[in-house]
Structure 1
Amino acid sequence: MRQLSELDASFLYLESETTPMHIGGIYVFDASEQTTPLAFSTFVAYLRSRLHVVPVFRQRLKEIPLRLGRPYWIDDPDFSIERHLAYVNLGEHGRRASLMTLASKILEEPLKRDRPLWHITFVDGFRLDDDESDRQGFALIVKLHHAAIDAFSGEDIIGKLLEYTPEPRPITPPRPWYPRPEPSEERVILQAGANILRTPLQFTSLAFNAAEATTRGLIQKQLRKLPMPFPLFSAPHSPFNRQITANRQIVSTSVDLSRLKAIKATLGDVTLNDVVLGLCAEALRRYSTEHGADTSRSLVAMTPISVRSNSLRRATGNQMSAMLLDLSTSESDPAQRIRKIHRNAVASEPYREAIAADRLTELLPSTMLALSARLYSELQIAQRYQPAFNLPITNVPGPQVPLYLQGARLIQQYNTAPLFDSMGLVIVAVSYQGRLTINFTLCPDVVAEGGSLEGYVTESLDAIEDAAQNPGFDGDLENDAESPHQTLTDDVLTALEGVLKKTLHRFRT
């Protein structure tokens, strides 16, 4: 048995009907040079032969009775690959728009918990519409639960499943697999008891979870009275921070990495990641302006940072650090904004001391985190006060060499991330073969006219290039009085410090 970490388990407890917590991917392949189109049965045989490279594909959750502790990953003795695959034929007139609509509907559905937490839909019978040649293609729509992977390890898994040469690899019979016996209930309970003795905070979490049903109403009643002065909720109101529904929309656009690298070279002391964040920030500013939102205060992004060791053999689970980053969207000059983002992020002390997310969940166990998240949603803190941050932005470096699946070349990939209550938009940027694809996963009931974001990215890149070439561009950033950014650690500790001071003051008086 391998127990989930607090961070991994939190993604299970945060899941609801409107917030499925899986990471998604749409992988488009060019099959025009194949004499025989890749059949679904061939794909099944290929995937079956590769299951050994991703052990979590044959592992399911083992819940602990009475939630005495976090679940475990165990081998699924009833594993059947057919339960994780589906086939869809879009027909001869299927195009990219049809594929994205289908993917949005598929990604709205949560993964079933009685089996390993992944699913792949093989999409056949549509045409690639990037030119007039009417080329044939197929696609894979992939769902992997966030409890098993993060965005960085997800890319690693796909890289292991695909091939690096255009010559199809012979499909070999699957390696023999002998699932380890499912542990008995008695062993699971004994293991949970041992874990509770080692980590007293989990016992506290258990007690809190048991009392949740009777105390939840009282907690809500008291929290509604709080003025909420904590700096943790200091991000401005935005069009993206409203209550979400189960509906999803995927909006994506690609740009040449060479253009971003040229901007980096022109601006000097900035990173490529700063340029990517600056491009996203400019697109968000244009969207906000178009929809009449106040842009006088800068949006705040939560930016995950991978802390996965290069020597780590197990490419599953979540190995992330996180920080809150001021995107400087109140700055009107898009090139100057990139310099400010660089100062806010890379050149700052909080960036170098960004706290690992699993350390935060050690302080706040996953069951308590789930309750806090539900209260955050049900009390509408993001609407009644201010959100903790406006949106997550993740930049994932992908392979710069072409990948293949039985001779068909991967020409495009789109990636999605889970939405959360009061967080109606998330951005995932992924590079592949000299291009960067910026993916917006959004709730269309919150982010109106989300399709316009694709055009805003194109306009933003042109505007940044023009501004970067401006000979007068060079501002004094040291004296900028813009509000300082905060890491997650800074905000949490500041809030706790305020509570502690009030408590000590009451004892003294």
Structure 2
Amino acid sequence: MANRLSPREAMYYFLDPAGATSHLGALLIFADPAASSAGTTSPGAGGALDYPSLVSLVENRLQLAPRYRQVVRAVTMGLARPVWADDPDFDINFHVRRSGLPRPGTLGDLADLVARVMSRPLDRSRPLWEMYLIEGLGDGGYALLTKTHRCVVDDFACPEISQIIADETAEAVEYEPDLWMPGRPPGSGALAVGALAEAVSRPGEFIDSVITGNGVVGGVRTVVDSTVRRIGGLLADVTDAAPPSPLNASGSSSQMVAVTGVPRRECAKIAERHGCTVNDVVLAIISGVMRRWLLGFDVAAAITDTVRVEVPLATRVSGVTPSVEREVTWIDVGSPGFVTDLPVGEDNPTVRLAQVAGLADRNAQSSRRVTLGPRPLLAELGMVPFAEFSSWAFRSLGTRGYNVPLSISTIPIADRYVLGRKVESLYPVPGLLAGRALAIGVVEYRDRLHFGFTADRGVIGDLSALADYVTESFEELREAD
């Protein structure tokens, strides 16, 4: 039986042609290996990470996630969802690449390079991921950037590739050589026959497929039925829509990326002093960032009272994310979330923090505020019907509930190593979806909270300012009584 994309995977796969860019990834920064004598890198690492060694490592680890050697194959006339198929021409050197910065490269230079890489679409005739070894950082440092299409990543079946190559100890794990041979790629006729055979084996679904249709035959009926079945949920999105904001606009296909960090220990002191959680402090910092940005976006316009964000429910409700079978992750794509308001209209940082904590407590307990995140129309059918229509519906209705998606790691990440080289800093590179001008990710690594921003260049012209605002907002809270 064909290994079909799930309805949600198919939704993300089809969103790209509508102008969205469903790439996400991580940025791992390494220090100069000569600093190992000072204890900042792992002893015995053997110098900086070189390109051939990285290629060998990735090739050895791909056996842990076969999807990174597979391509997406569409089914004729949309008779079923696309399938994952082995890439007969898989070339590891196409996916693992080498790049550099003019020395000495700054963190801003690195962010600009990351933005250019993340703005480029992935080649859909190949597996949907890339990795870059970036040299030339100041003080002899270098970085690794991973870029993976959102449809590839699954919290349980397929982690993001940065998590596959990173080890918990300085001693790299080497698996037995993988004698991988690609399977024979299915032809268009075979895919169509397979789709029909699956339908015939389940007569009820076959009749539903013929009547409602996944392709041309049942298109109109599908659209009508989707509207009827989803009207309750979509109506809730519309009636409880987020405040109007340029953050829900799309200005271009070009992205900007910025990264920064603050000490986690100091955030914990702020939380203890005000009787709240570190995650409340993170939300308050972001509230201050959004307030500063809105004040400078249009000086003639009155600032809105709130910005609505989607936050992982696990940051507020213990036990939401299973911890036994699930590994620690810095790229979380499947957890349920809730939407809450950031009181950006409040000038006093102490009051703003108290309001953030109170709103998060209340909204995390409200079933109306819980969200499963982006979801496909008609998930019970074979695929996301009419890619352009589904993308339009997702953008125009399903995304009105909040302004900014915000991912926060709920478990601290301990030291990570790549071939014995310690990762000094680890930043998320959140994906930017249709109808969103900004996405924010926060990861706790090595007692620092690392912030990653991805933005639409056509809406947010100077994303580096937001990174500076993180420091300003943090200092404002630390100095508040």
Question: TM-score with structure 2 length normalisation?
Answer: 0.80
Aligned-partner Cα distance in 1 for 2:18–2:386? 19
Per-residue deviation, residues 239-291 of structure 1 (Å, max 9, x unmatched) = 323232011111121001112111221221x3322221121111101211223
Q: How much has 1:176 moved relative to structure 2?
A: 2.3
Which residue pairs with 2:231 in the alignment? none
Q: Which letter does structure 1 place at the counterpart of 2:53?
A: T
Amino acid at match of 2:342: L
> Which residue, 362, 385, 399 being the options, matches 1:367?
385
Match of 1:174 among 163, 174, 177: 177
Q: CA deviation at 1:405?
A: 1.5
Q: CA deviation at 1:23?
A: 0.8
What are the Cα deviations for residues 138-180 of structure 1, in whole angstroms up to 9, with x where unaligned?
221211111122689987753341123334x375662223445
* Conserved? CA contact 2:7–2:376, under 8 Å: no
**SS of the residue 1:174 aligns to:** coil
Q: Is the Cα–Cα contact under 8 Å of residues 12 and 147 in structure 1 kept in the other structure?
A: yes
Structure 2 CA distance, aligned partners of 1:287 and 1:187? 52
Pick one of 59, 64, 72 that aligns with 1:48. 59
Seen in structure 2, the aligned counterparts of structure 1 residues 277 and 155 have a Cα distance that, compared at 3 Å, is: farther
- Counterpart secondary structure, 2:53: helix
Q: Are positions 1:106 and 2:117 aligned together?
A: yes
2:349 matched to 1:334?
yes
Shift of 1:86: 1.5
Checking the alignment, whether the CA contact within 8 Å between 1:209 and 1:367 is kept in structure 2 is no
Give the stretch that moved more between structures: 137-146 or 66-75: 66-75
Given that 1:308 and 1:319 are in contact with CA atoms closer than 8 Å, whether structure 2 keeps it comes out as no
Q: Deviations over 1:360-413 (max 9, x none)?
A: 755686336852542576xx889xxx9542111111246532211223221122
- TM-superposed CA distance for 1:453, in Å, is 0.9
Equivalent runs, 1:268-307 vs 2, <5 Å: 268=275, 270-291=276-297, 292=299, 293-305=301-313
Query: For residue 143 of structure 1, what is the aligned residue in structure 2?
Result: 147
Q: For 1:209 and 1:317, locate their aligned partners in 2 and report how far apart those are by CA, in whole Å.
A: 35
Written as runs of structure 1 = structure 2, the 5 A alignment for 1:64-463 is: 64-124=75-135, 126-128=136-138, 134=139, 136-149=140-153, 157-167=161-171, 169=172, 174-182=177-185, 184-185=190-191, 186-191=193-198, 194=201, 197-198=204-205, 206=213, 231-232=238-239, 234-268=241-275, 270-291=276-297, 292=299, 293-305=301-313, 309-312=322-325, 318-348=333-363, 349-350=365-366, 354-357=370-373, 361=377, 366-367=384-385, 371-374=389-392, 387-397=400-410, 399-463=412-476
**SS at 1:280's partner residue?**
helix
- Matched to 1:175, the amino acid is D
Work out the CA distance in 2 between the residues paired with 1:87 and 1:368: 38
Corresponding residue SS for 2:12: helix
In structure 2, relative to structure 1, the CA distance for the partners of 1:381 and 1:78 (3 Å cut) is closer
Structure 1: stretches of 5+ with no match in the other structure: 129-133, 217-227, 470-509
RMSD between aligned alpha carbons? Answer: 3.7
Identity in percent = 24
1:488 — aligned with what? Answer: none
Alpha-carbon distance in structure 2 between the residues aligned to 1:62 and 1:317: 26
SS in structure 2 at match of 1:56: helix
- Quote the Cα distance in structure 1 between the aligned partners of 2:130 and 2:263: 31
Q: How many residues align?
A: 443
> How far off its partner does 1:436 sit?
0.7
Q: Deviations over 1:177-201 (max 9, x none)?
A: 3445545332243225556834877
C-alpha distance 354-230 of structure 1, shift in aligned 2 (>3 A): closer
Question: Matches of 1:200 and 1:317 in 2, distance apart?
Answer: 37
Q: Distance in 2 between matches of 1:351 and 1:274?
A: 20
TM-score (norm 1): 0.76
Deviates more, 1:200-209 or 1:435-444: 200-209
Q: In structure 2, do the counterparts of structure 1 residues 38 and 462 end up closer, same or farther at CA, with 3 Å as the change threshold?
A: closer
Residues 364/294 of structure 1: CA separation in 2 closer, same or farther (3 Å cut): farther
Kindly provide the CA deviation profile for residues 334-367 of structure 1, in whole angstroms up to 9, marking residues without a partner as x: 3333333333333443269835348775568633
Amino acid at match of 1:339: A
Partner in structure 2 of residue 497 of structure 1: none
| Shift of residue 303, structure 1, vs aligned partner | 2.5
- Counterpart CA distance in 2 for 1:209 and 1:232 is 33
- Determine the structure 1 residue equivalent to 2:226: none
Map Cα deviations across residues 471-505 of structure 1 (whole Å, 9 max, x no partner). Answer: xxxxxxxxxxxxxxxxxxxxxxxxxxxxxxxxxxx
* 1:4-39 C-alpha deviation (Å, 9 max, x unpaired): 222221111111374221112221112423554332
Tell me, what secondary structure is at the counterpart of 2:59? Answer: helix
Tell me, in whole angstroms, the C-alpha distance in 2 between the residues paired with 1:19 and 1:285: 26
CA distance in structure 2 between the aligned counterparts of 1:72 and 1:215, rounded to whole angstroms:
21
d(CA) in 2 for partners of 1:64, 1:317: 29
Do the aligned partners of 2:167 and 2:173 also contact (CA within 8 Å) in 1? no
Per-residue CA shift, 1:124-144, capped at 9, x if unaligned? 2x133xxxxx2x222212111
**SS of structure 2 residue aligned to 1:367:** coil
The CA distance in 2 between the partners of 1:204 and 1:303, in whole Å, is: 39
Pair 229,308 (structure 1): closer, same or farther in 2 beyond 3 Å: closer
Residues 109-133 of structure 1, C-alpha deviation per residue, up to 9 Å, x if partnerless?
1222222221111222x133xxxxx
Tell me which residue corresponds to 1:219: none
Are 2:17 and 2:388, in contact at CA under 8 Å, matched by a contact in 1? no
- Residues 45 and 99 of structure 1: is their aligned pair in 2 closer, same or farther, counting only changes over 3 Å? same
Deviations 1:197-226 (A, max 9, x none): 34877667635765769999xxxxxxxxxx
CA 1:303/1:317 → structure 2, altered by over 3 Å: closer, same or farther?
closer
User: Structure 1 residues 322, 367: CA separation in 2 closer, same or farther (over 3 Å shift)?
Assistant: farther
1:483 aligned residue: none
1:38 is paired with a residue whose SS is coil
Q: Which amino acid aligns with 1:331?
A: E
Deviation at 1:84, TM superposition (A): 1.3
The one-letter code of the counterpart of 2:152 is A
